[in-house]
Amino acid sequence: MDAQVLKRLFSVDEFHQMAEAGAFGEDDRLELLDGEIVQMTPIGSRHAACVNRLNEAFSERCRASAIVHVQNPLTLGEGTEFYPDIALLQRRADFYSQSHPRAADVLSIVEVADTTGDYDRRVTVPRYARAGVPEVWVVDLHVRIVDIFRQVQAGAYRDERHVGPGESLSIPGVPGQQIAVADILV
């Protein structure tokens, strides 16, 4: 008879308690995915440069309309907390000091993928859809495109587009503001 392997799944609160107790290293890149602690790949220089470009572009264009949330926690449910590269959040006077933002606070998410494009499309994007995040961009540095996922219905994105360097993207929740794809690709 084979022994049954049991997993111990964690809540977001337990994940935070472990971090506060020093269970993780200061430089550990961890996320909580359906109760499991997942180690993320290190951030390379191309990835970091793209996040910096996005941060600057969004900060200039979105100052009055959104909070640009860079590689900070986003709680998607009891057992899932991601650290998206960029989250455009609804403005709040307290800048989310009382609690981490949730999916209902999000205007858009941007994930930059240098080596993790498949993982983002297969694992991360569906979690955002199930949580009700209205729009997700996956900036794929390897193939130099931006995949746009929008129109959530029944926990899945119904509209998926691929946009290349010669095109521009409208910034969700910020009327009249666009960003050229060529300006964010490294």
In the chain, domain spans: 43-184
Non-local (6+) Cβ contacts of 22 within 8 A are none
Phi, psi angles (nearest 5°) of residue 72: -115, 165
* pLDDT of 1 above 70: no
Return the CATH number of 43-184, one of 2.60.40.10, 3.40.50.300, 3.90.105.10, 3.90.1570.10: 3.90.1570.10
Tell me the pLDDT tens digit for each residue of 51-66.
Answer: 999 999 999 999 889 9
Closest C-alpha among 65, 66, 101, 68 to residue 86: 68
CA-angle at 171, arms to 54 and 176, nearest 5°:
125
Task: Output the pTM of the full model.
Answer: 0.91
Could you give the 3-state DSSP secondary structure of residue 138?
strand
Which runs of consecutive H residues, i.e. helices, occur in the chain?
A: 12-20, 45-62, 117-119, 125-131, 181-184
Q: Work out the pLDDT band at 122, boundaries 50, 70, 90.
A: very high
* pLDDT of 186 above 80: no
In the chain, the percentage of residues whose pLDDT exceeds 70 is 99
The pLDDT of residue 174: 87
Which runs of consecutive H residues, i.e. helices, occur in 69-157?
A: 117-119, 125-131
